[in-house]
C-alpha cells in the first residue's frame, strides 16, 4: 500500500490551476461536428445502458481475473516523476471546450508508473463513442523522446474541469488515475487526500493487499447548463469486479453521489467500502521532536464518525508500527478524514499549503447495516507517503459471485461539524511532563454558541485499567477565541504497551461535545 500511496502523493500533491478560459460559441458561426482536432471521427456504434451492463456482473465474476498487458514502452516507464510531469496536455485540445460546455475533459499520458491501458468512452445524447489516444494532444517539448511512441497506447487517466473558482475560467476539480484512485476538490481547495473505489485486505499482515483497477470509463457529456457530470466505470481485480456510477457536482462544497454494484470472484478477508487515503507526518498532537522545519505536516488531522449514539473525533498519528483501530457502529450515519486546522500559521508552508487541503465526508445512502469504521495507519518518515486509510467494513460479507450493491455521498468541505449544538474538538496537544510515565493533554473545544456554563459543564475522562488521571481535569474558557480548554494529566503502568483514552463534555449528565478518542502507544 505504501508504494501505491507514494505515487498518488507525488502526482497530485498540488492542484494545478490550468486557467482554461471558457469559450462562448458564436451562434452565427457554422456548426461543426463534435470531433476533436487530429482524431479520426469515432464511429458511434451503440447506445449506453448502465442497467443492462450491470446484469453482466455474475458472468464477469465467473471468469478468472486477467491481468492487462503493459502498453507503455521502456522509455516512458523509466521516466522519473519530474520528467513525467513535463508531458503537458495542450489546453486547446480540451474535449468539449469549443462547444461551450461548462464541463471539459483533459487526458493523462502514460509514463512513469502509469500504464497506457485505460479504455475511455464518451456518451453524447445516449450514444457511446471511443476516445482514441492521440499524441498530438500533448506537448513533449520539455522532454527528449528517444523512442517512438507505441501505436496502441491509451491514456492513463483523465481530469475534469469546471468553472469552480471563477465564472471566466475552468479549473481542474477531479482526477481519476491509478488503480481505483480519484481526487476531488471544492472551491478554493487544492488536492490532498485520495478516494478509492474499493479496498481489499487493507491493513492485514497475513495476506497481501489488493488494488483493483478502474479499467474502463464512460464519461457522459452534460447539457450546456448542467451543474453535474456523470461518469461510469468498470472495476476489475483479482478478487472483485463491479460497475460504478459517479455523479459529480462541483461547488463551494463539491458533492459526489456514488452507486456501485460489485461481485466477489473469491473470498476476501476484509472488504473496505468508501476508502479514504491520506497522509499524516506529524502535527500538534505528535510527541517528541518535529521531523522537519515546519510546525505541522499533514493532509488530514483526524477521523470523524457518527452513528445513532455518538460522534467520535480521533486525532491522527504517525504510529510506531502498523495499527488498525475499529469503531463499531450498528447504524453508521457518516465518517470522514478531515483537515480541521485551517490556519496557515499551523503549517507555514507556502509551497504545500496544507491549510487548503480538502476534508472528505462519507454519508451512506440507505441502510448499510452493522459493521465498523476502520482506521489503518503505518509509520512514515516522509510527507510524500500516504500512511492513513479509513473505510467501512460490513459485518455481513457478500456471497461469492453474487452482486452486492451500495451507495453513498461524498462531500469535500473545508470544515465539518455534525451540528451547531454539539461542541467539536478543534485541537489536541500532547506533552510529556517531567514525571515518569505521564502525559499532559490539552484539548480545545469550539464553543459555537459562545456560551460557557462553568457550573454545569464537566470534563469527563475515561481510561482503561492501565492508565489513570492523576490531576483533577480543568476547564477554562478562552473568550477571545470562543473556545473551551480542557486540561488533564494521565499516568500509565510501567509495562503498558498501549492504552485508550476518551474525553468529552457533559452538562447535567448529557454529552454535549464530540467524544475525543486517543490511543497512547509506547
Question: Which pLDDT value is given to residue 3?
Answer: 46
* HEC profile of 259-301: EEEEEECCCCCCEEEEEEEECEEECCCCCCCCCCCCCCEECCC
> pTM value?
0.90
pLDDT at 31: 36
Closest to 339 in 3D by CA, of 179, 186, 451: 186
Burial 88-126 (b: 16+ CB within 10 A, else e): bbebebbbbbeeebbbbbbbbbbbbbbbbbbebbbbeee
Res 411: pLDDT = 98
**What is the structure's pLDDT at 175?**
98
Q: 412 by DSSP, 3-state: which?
A: strand
Q: What is the pLDDT of residue 308?
A: 87
Superfamily per CATH, domain 425-521: Immunoglobulins (2.60.40.10)
What pLDDT shows up at residue 454? 61
How high is the mean pLDDT of the chain? 88
CA distance 158 to 174: 8
Positions of CATH 2.70.98.10 in the chain: 2-412
Write out pLDDT tens, residues 11-49.
444 444 445 555 544 443 333 333 333 343 444 457 999
- Over residues 68-123, the pLDDT tens digits come to 888 888 899 999 999 999 999 999 999 999 888 999 999 999 999 899 889 999 99
| Nine-digit cell string for 50 | 448502465
Is the distance from CB of 337 to CB of 390 less than 8 angstroms?
yes
Q: What are phi and psi for residue 58, nearest 5 degrees?
A: -55, -40
* The predicted structure's pLDDT at residue 14: 40
Q: Which pLDDT score, from 0 to 100, does residue 147 have?
A: 80
Residue given cell 478562552 in the structure block: 478
Tell me the C-alpha distance between 121 and 351, whole Å.
Answer: 36
Please answer whether residues 306 and 275 qualify as being in contact, where contact means their C-beta atoms are separated by less than 8 angstroms: no
Give the closest residue to 338 by CA, choosing from 411, 285, 287, 284: 411
What does the angle CA 73 – CA 172 – CA 336 come to, to the nearest 5 degrees?
100
The pLDDT score that the predictor gives to residue 446 is 86
DSSP code of residue 188: T
CA 95, 97, 99, 101: dihedral to nearest 10 degrees?
100
Residue 80: CB atoms within 10 A of its CB come to 11
At the second CATH level, the architecture of 2-412 is Distorted Sandwich (2.70)
Q: Which H or E element spans position 467?
A: strand 467-469
Local structure of 82: helix, strand or coil: helix
User: How far is 243 from 56, CA to CA, in rounded Å?
Assistant: 10
Find out whether 274 and 392 touch, Cβ atoms under 8 Å.
yes
pLDDT given for residue 44 in this prediction? 47
C-alpha cell recorded at residue 4: 501505491
| Residue 222, Cβ density class (10 Å: 0-12 exposed, 13-18 middle, ≥19 buried) | middle
CB 425 within 8 A of CB 313: yes
Nearest by Cα to 200 from 391, 465, 49, 366: 391
Give 185's contacts (C-beta < 8 A, 6+ positions apart): 15, 164, 173, 174, 191, 254, 358, 412
Domain span(s) for CATH 2.60.40.10 in the chain? 425-521
- Residue-level pLDDT at 436: 81
Instruction: Tell me the CA distances in angstroms from 450 to 338, 426, 447, 477, 503, one per residue in order.
Output: 23, 15, 5, 10, 20
CA distance 105 to 62: 34
Per-residue pLDDT of the chain (522 residues; tens, 9 = 90+): 554 554 444 444 444 444 555 554 444 333 333 333 334 344 445 799 999 999 999 999 999 999 988 888 889 999 999 999 999 999 999 999 988 899 999 999 999 989 988 999 999 999 999 999 999 999 999 988 878 888 789 999 999 999 999 988 999 999 999 999 999 999 999 999 999 999 999 999 999 999 999 999 999 999 988 999 999 999 999 999 999 999 999 999 999 999 999 999 999 999 999 999 999 999 999 877 667 789 999 999 999 999 988 999 999 999 999 999 999 999 999 999 999 999 999 999 999 999 999 999 999 999 999 999 999 999 999 999 999 999 999 998 899 999 999 999 999 999 888 777 789 999 999 987 777 888 899 999 987 666 666 678 899 999 988 889 988 888 888 877 778 899 999 988 877 778 899 999 999 889 999 999 999 887
Amino acid at each position: 500500500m505504501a508504494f501505491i500511496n507514494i505515487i498518488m502523493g507525488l502526482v497530485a500533491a498540488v492542484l494545478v490551476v490550468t486557467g482554461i478560459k471558457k469559450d462562448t460559441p458564436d451562434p452565427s458561426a457554422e456548426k461543426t461536428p463534435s470531433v476533436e482536432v487530429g482524431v479520426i471521427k469515432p464511429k458511434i456504434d451503440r447506445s449506453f445502458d448502465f442497467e443492462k451492463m450491470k446484469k453482466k456482473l455474475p458472468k464477469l465474476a465467473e471468469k478468472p481475473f486477467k491481468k492487462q498487458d503493459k502498453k507503455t514502452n521502456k522509455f516512458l516507464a523509466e521516466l522519473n516523476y519530474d520528467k513525467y510531469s513535463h508531458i503537458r496536455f495542450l489546453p486547446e485540445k480540451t474535449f468539449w471546450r469549443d462547444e461551450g460546455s461548462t464541463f471539459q475533459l483533459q487526458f493523462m499520458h502514460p509514463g512513469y508508473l502509469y500504464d497506457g491501458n485505460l479504455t475511455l468512452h464518451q456518451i453524447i445524447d445516449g450514444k457511446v463513442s471511443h476516445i482514441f489516444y492521440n499524441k498530438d494532444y500533448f506537448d513533449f517539448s520539455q522532454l527528449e523522446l528517444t523512442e517512438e511512441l507505441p501505436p496502441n497506447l491509451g491514456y492513463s487517466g483523465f481530469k475534469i474541469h469546471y468553472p469552480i473558482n471563477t465564472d471566466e475560467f475552468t479549473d481542474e476539480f477531479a482526477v481519476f488515475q491509478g488503480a481505483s484512485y480519484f481526487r476531488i476538490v471544492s472551491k478554493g481547495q487544492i488536492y490532498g487526500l485520495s478516494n478509492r473505489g474499493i479496498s481489499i485486505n487493507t491493513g492485514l499482515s497475513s495476506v497481501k493487499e489488493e488494488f483493483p483497477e478502474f479499467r474502463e470509463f464512460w464519461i457522459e457529456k452534460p447539457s450546456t447548463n448542467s451543474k453535474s457530470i456523470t461518469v461510469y466505470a468498470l472495476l476489475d481485480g483479482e478478487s472483485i469486479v463491479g460497475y460504478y456510477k459517479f455523479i459529480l457536482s462541483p461547488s463551494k462544497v463539491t458533492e459526489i453521489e456514488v452507486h456501485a454494484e460489485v461481485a466477489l470472484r473469491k473470498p476476501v478477508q476484509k472488504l473496505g467500502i468508501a476508502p479514504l487515503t491520506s497522509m499524516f507526518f506529524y502535527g500538534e498532537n505528535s510527541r517528541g521532536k518535529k521531523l522537519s522545519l515546519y510546525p505541522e505536516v499533514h493532509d488530514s488531522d483526524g477521523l470523524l464518525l457518527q452513528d445513532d449514539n455518538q460522534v467520535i473525533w480521533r486525532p491522527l498519528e504517525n504510529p510506531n508500527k502498523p495499527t488498525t483501530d475499529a469503531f463499531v457502529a450498528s447504524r453508521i450515519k457518516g465518517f470522514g478524514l478531515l483537515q480541521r486546522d485551517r490556519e496557515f500559521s499551523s503549517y507555514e508552508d507556502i509551497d504545500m499549503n496544507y491549510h487548503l487541503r480538502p476534508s472528505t465526508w462519507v454519508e451512506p445512502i440507505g441502510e448499510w447495516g452493522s459493521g465498523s469504521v476502520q482506521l489503518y495507519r503505518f509509520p512514515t518518515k516522509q510527507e510524500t507517503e500516504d500512511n492513513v486509510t479509513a473505510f467501512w467494513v460490513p459485518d455481513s460479507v457478500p456471497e461469492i459471485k453474487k452482486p452486492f450493491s451500495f451507495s453513498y455521498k461524498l462531500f469535500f468541505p473545508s470544515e465539518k461539524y455534525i451540528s451547531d449544538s454539539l461542541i467539536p474538538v478543534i485541537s489536541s496537544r500532547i506533552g510529556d511532563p517531567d514525571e515518569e510515565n505521564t502525559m499532559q493533554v490539552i484539548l480545545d473545544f469550539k464553543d459555537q454558541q459562545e456560551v460557557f456554563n462553568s457550573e454545569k459543564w464537566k470534563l469527563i475522562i475515561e481510561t482503561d485499567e492501565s492508565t489513570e488521571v492523576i490531576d483533577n481535569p480543568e476547564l477554562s474558557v478562552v473568550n477571545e477565541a470562543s473556545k473551551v480548554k480542557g486540561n488533564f494529566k494521565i499516568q500509565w503502568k510501567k509495562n503498558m504497551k498501549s492504552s485508550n483514552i476518551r474525553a468529552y463534555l457533559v452538562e447535567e449528565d448529557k454529552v454535549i461535545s464530540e467524544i475525543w478518542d486517543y490511543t497512547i502507544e509506547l
